[in-house]
Amino acid sequence: MPKTNALYGYGGFGREVMPILKNLYPDDRNIFVVHKEFMPEQSSINSIEIISFEDFLDIPNHEKNITITIADPIKRSALSKEIDSHKITRKSIFSKNSLIMDNVEISNGAIICPFVTLTSNIRIGQNFHANLYSYVAHDCIVGNNVTFAPSVKCNGNVIIEDNVFIGTGAIIKQGKKDNPIVIGTNSIISSGSFVTKNVSESTTVFGNPAKVLSKSSLK
């Protein structure tokens, strides 16, 4: 049966991931999809076809897979639930020049970009995005819909809960086996931050060392 592999979203990250997808599956139909209300005037970008999500669902006699390239974790979570309701496979994409070592578990829908390293004894949830040159070190747990922008450094014994966005160049200090550093659900770590302690749920932190973003912290 012929295969159609779709990336949901044709923005910057989607356009960066498409060459990886084409390299992995050169004989398949590889396309961009978005919902009808977000369809552009043009029918393609970078010579790759763009169709509506609704038309994608109606493609007959094809094995259909989709990967979400939307960076926002909350939006990615909602899209994931919609896709699952249609019983479409959320495909993981692993660049050929990424490095995955021992005892690493990764759930569906991940995007592992070039030069990403996942070391050992790591558990990663659904729809993980690891952009260029990021790494996750030993004994880490990463939740669902977590985004690593380029060059994020997550050192060992760290727990990252669901729907966390970590900006470019951020570093998370190594925790301890009996006292891991915990990054709470729905939190944001700003670009260039150095996280040295736990981050509370639904909190934005920035700086070196990272502190909570507030009016007083900006003075």
Query: Which residues belong to the active site?
Result: 138
Quote the CA–CA distance of 84 and 66 in Å, as a whole number.
Answer: 10
Q: How many CB atoms lie within 10 A of CB 87?
A: 7
Taking CA atoms, 1 is separated from 49, 57, 60, 194, in Å, by 20, 16, 11, 49
With CA atoms as reference, report the closest residue to 52 among 36, 41, 37, 66: 36
Quote the CA–CA distance of 29 and 23 in Å, as a whole number.
Answer: 12
Q: Indicate the SS3 state at residue 128.
A: coil
Quote the CA–CA distance of 37 and 51 in Å, as a whole number.
Answer: 11
